[in-house]
Amino acid sequence: MRWDRQADVVVVGSGATGLPAAIVARERGCSVILVEAEKDIGGHAIISGGNVPLGGGTSVQKKYGIKDSPDLVFRDLTDWSVVGPNGFPDYRYNDREIVRAFADNSAATFEWLVARGVVFVDKAPDALGGNSVGNSVPREMHSAVMHWPMAHTGEPADPAMQKTRSSGNGLMRSLEVAAKEAGVEILLEHRMTSIQRRAPNCGPVLGIAVDHKGARLNIRARKAVIIGTGGSTGNVNFRRMFDPRLTEEYCGLAGMPWSDQDGSGELAAMAIGASLWGFYNQIGEFGSNVTKPGSIGRQYNYRHLQWMPGSPVFGRARATGLRVADWQDVILVNMLGKRFYDETGGQYIANNYNSLDPYVQGSYLNAKNLEWNPNNFLNAALAAIDDGHNGGGPIWAIFDSDAVAREEWTPAPPHADIAAGFFFSADRLADLAEKIVMKYQRVPMPPTNLEETVARYNSFVDSGVDEDFGKPKPIYKIAKPPFYAAWATPVVHDTRAGLRINAKCQVLDMSGEVIQGLYCGGESAGGFSQHGRARAACQGYIAGNAAAGAR
Ligand SMILES: Cc1cc2nc3c(=O)[nH]c(=O)nc-3n(C[C@H](O)[C@H](O)[C@H](O)COP(=O)(O)OP(=O)(O)OC[C@H]3O[C@@H](n4cnc5c(N)ncnc54)[C@H](O)[C@@H]3O)c2cc1C
């Protein structure tokens, strides 16, 4: 092997896992190269909502008199008895060793972030935002957006809100500054393509290969390679190992097009013998693995993220979307122009702080006390339509010009993505159905289907009863042209299953043996069902420390 570059520790990915890992390793005396596939740092973490559930007895919890401990964090995140309103358990299948490591390092990670310049909104920890983040005491902290331009707008936040608004922007830019000050070498537009091991399935990891604008570079890692590549939900073949329904039409990933979750870390590690772990956490119907769109008429339609024309990636995002304030304003139809569910239905949810009342640790009464609520529309939206395909195909929001007025939408670019086929309009419903031609619409929408669906729905408005799906009192007819069809297909979000790791974030092989010199954390690691950045930052912290002492 000819090595083009060398460092003690090579970190892959500059998101919530990678940057902390790189800084910690550097601070512990290692030379560190961090490679990032995109043109800028931050990954999904930089566009995240900034809710960070790190607890276990942080200085802020103490300041506000909140009693917490590593044991309580561990107990909460492994409590088999906590279930969501549809009966799915959030924490039952978490790997005890991995959660124990998180519990023991959670408070330390928080203090470490603060000491590296990360500013958290100055208030008591709460239960706002995030999901699957534990159940018994307030732990949720919120990193402030700060003064740096935001990835989704290209502009800084309003100065009056820079220290009070929760966002991943401030967290990741602060860590970028800390990394550079510490002497981490960050190589942007360097995409890791493979991991080198002494022999294909044995011996220590030696380094990685990267692609830099079409050229291959080999980077030697004298001590360790740390994978922080952010998961696999953007890779259709990979995600279908977990859920065969998630075919290519689910193309509106949360966090894209800023950065992808292409499974490259997992695939490279599997190619040298690594094992995957904790599949249930990916397919359990809780949390945000698959979500209901929050806006319509654009490809990347995650509810908490609107790409604005000033964003550096707006050219790829193409539209801001039309935010839906009231799902009474639209009906949702499948590829065949048929309704399939009550449009006001939500998505999978997760159990957070005290959403079970009373909450008794480890008691079946938690499930008994739950209010049964199966009302999410995702399974119906993902249901196949019997065309021999596993995925349900596109979902279209159908509405009229009165709905446009009520919602105060502008049904045109840059709000609606007409050019790429995520938004259509016509003066007649039959014409609208015929116009829906785009790459994910596998079969044409029969015009009579759409006409009949709308006529039947309008009759429900007259009677006040949705006889098909029980939408609470349908209010508005779809009657006034022009008529519209806007992309409203479910969004793929979190990855909660990935590489098998141990308490030190070392990657294990199919025999349960450590692959020497290989570490992983965040969404590319398995065994831990918790949304987001706390898990990632904490595992980055653990991996950076462990890797610095490796070999
Ligand atoms: C819109 C949105 C809102 C969110 N809000 C919250 C929130 O409020 N609270 C919360 O806790 N979590 C939130 N999350 C989730 C959270 O951002 C992620 O769970 C977290 O960032 C995962 O960290 P990670 O290090 O695993 O991946 P990321 O932060 O995504 O970082 C992965 C990095 O690796 C890079 N990469 C990938 N492959 C390669 C390769 N082959 N070579 C080199 N680099 C590569 C990527 O480009 C990326 O920069 C949100 C996510 C999104 C998308």
Together in a domain, 157 and 300: no
Report if residue 351 sits inside a domain. no
**Average pLDDT value over all residues in the chain:** 96
Cα separation of 161 and 155, whole Å?
A: 13
Give pLDDT, residue 369.
84
Inter-axis angle of helices 533-548 and 96-115, to 10 degrees?
90
Structure tokens at 47: 């566009």
What residues make up the domain containing 70? 5-284+493-548
Together in a domain, 280 and 320: no
Q: What is the CATH number of the domain that holds 442?
A: 3.90.700.10
The total number of structural domains in the chain stands at 2
The atom of ligand 1 lying closest to the CA of 35 is 43
Distances (CA, A) of 469 to 84, 339, 372, 548: 22, 9, 18, 57
The atom of ligand 1 lying closest to the CA of 44 is 30
Residue-wise DSSP of 99-161? HHHHHHHHHHHHHHHHHTTPPBPSS--B--S-SS--SSS--EEEBB--SSPPTTTSSPPPGGG
Give pLDDT, residue 130.
76
Taking 80 as the threshold, does the pLDDT of residue 249 lie above it? yes
Mutate to test the pocket of ligand 1, among 48, 141, 352, 535 (most ligand atoms within 8 A of CB): 48
Taking 90 as the threshold, does the pLDDT of residue 358 lie above it? no
426-451 confidence digits (pLDDT tens): 999 999 999 999 999 999 999 999 99
73-102 confidence digits (pLDDT tens): 999 999 999 998 888 999 999 999 999 999
What pTM does this model have? Answer: 0.97
Question: Using a 6 Å CB cutoff, which residues line ligand 1?
Answer: 12-18, 35-38, 43-45, 47-52, 129-130, 168, 191-192, 228-231, 254-255, 259, 264, 302, 304-305, 522-524, 531-534, 536
- Which of 131-145, 175-189, 360-374, 396-410 is the least confident region? 360-374
Together in a domain, 297 and 324: yes
- Tokens 């990657």, residue? 507
Give the pLDDT mean for 185-203: 96
Together in a domain, 477 and 515: no
Give pLDDT, residue 265.
98
Taking 90 as the threshold, does the pLDDT of residue 550 lie above it? no
Give the pLDDT mean for 51-72: 97
**What's the count of helices (H) and strands (E) in the chain, helices before strands?**
16, 20
Together in a domain, 451 and 544: no
Give the pLDDT mean for 33-48: 98
Q: Report how far ligand 1's centroid is from the alpha carbon of 385 (Å).
A: 33
User: CA torsion 459→465→469→471, rounded to 10°?
Assistant: 110
Together in a domain, 336 and 225: no
Report if residue 354 sits inside a domain. no
Cα separation of 96 and 74, whole Å?
A: 8
Taking 90 as the threshold, does the pLDDT of residue 37 lie above it? yes
Give pLDDT, residue 49.
94
Report if residue 191 sits inside a domain. yes
Together in a domain, 70 and 166: yes
Confidence of residue 357 (pLDDT cuts 50, 70, 90): confident
Whose alpha carbon is nearest atom 33 of ligand 1? 13
Residue-wise DSSP of 257-305? TTS----HHHHHHHHTTBPEE-THHHHSS-TTSEE--SEESSSS--TT-
Cα separation of 502 and 11, whole Å?
A: 18
Q: Report how far ligand 1's centroid is from the alpha carbon of 288 (Å).
A: 14
- Tokens 């045109």, residue? 412
Give pLDDT, residue 551.
61
Confidence of residue 374 (pLDDT cuts 50, 70, 90): confident
Give pLDDT, residue 356.
83
Give the pLDDT mean for 266-291: 95
Structure tokens at 434: 């015929």
Together in a domain, 247 and 302: no
Confidence of residue 42 (pLDDT cuts 50, 70, 90): very high
User: Which stretches of 13-74 are assigned E, i.e. beta strand?
Assistant: 32-35, 51-53
Give the number of other CB atoms < 10 A from CB of residue 105. 22
Task: Note whether 52 and 168 are within 8 A (CB).
Answer: no
Cα separation of 27 and 374, whole Å?
A: 49
The atom of ligand 1 lying closest to the CA of 193 is 41
Residue 40 CB contacts under 8 Å (≥ 6 apart), including other chains: 46, 151, 188, 312
Together in a domain, 276 and 301: no
Whose alpha carbon is nearest atom 15 of ligand 1? 532
Q: Report how far ligand 1's centroid is from the alpha carbon of 532 (Å).
A: 8
Q: Report how far ligand 1's centroid is from the alpha carbon of 15 (Å).
A: 5
Q: Report how far ligand 1's centroid is from the alpha carbon of 43 (Å).
A: 4
Structure tokens at 417: 């993505």
The atom of ligand 1 lying closest to the CA of 304 is 1
Inter-axis angle of helices 96-115 and 18-27, to 10 degrees?
70
Whose alpha carbon is nearest atom 38 of ligand 1? 229
Residue that finishes a domain, picked among 464, 487, 510:
487
Together in a domain, 49 and 29: yes
Q: Report how far ligand 1's centroid is from the alpha carbon of 45 (Å).
A: 5
The atom of ligand 1 lying closest to the CA of 533 is 11
Together in a domain, 481 and 502: no
- pLDDT > 90 fraction of the chain, expressed in percent and rounded: 89
Q: Report how far ligand 1's centroid is from the alpha carbon of 1 (Å).
A: 31
Q: Report how far ligand 1's centroid is from the alpha carbon of 281 (Å).
A: 17
352 or 41: which leads in pLDDT: 41
The atom of ligand 1 lying closest to the CA of 521 is 26
Q: Report how far ligand 1's centroid is from the alpha carbon of 230 (Å).
A: 5
Taking 90 as the threshold, does the pLDDT of residue 133 lie above it? no
Structure tokens at 528: 């831990």
Cα separation of 235 and 247, whole Å?
A: 10
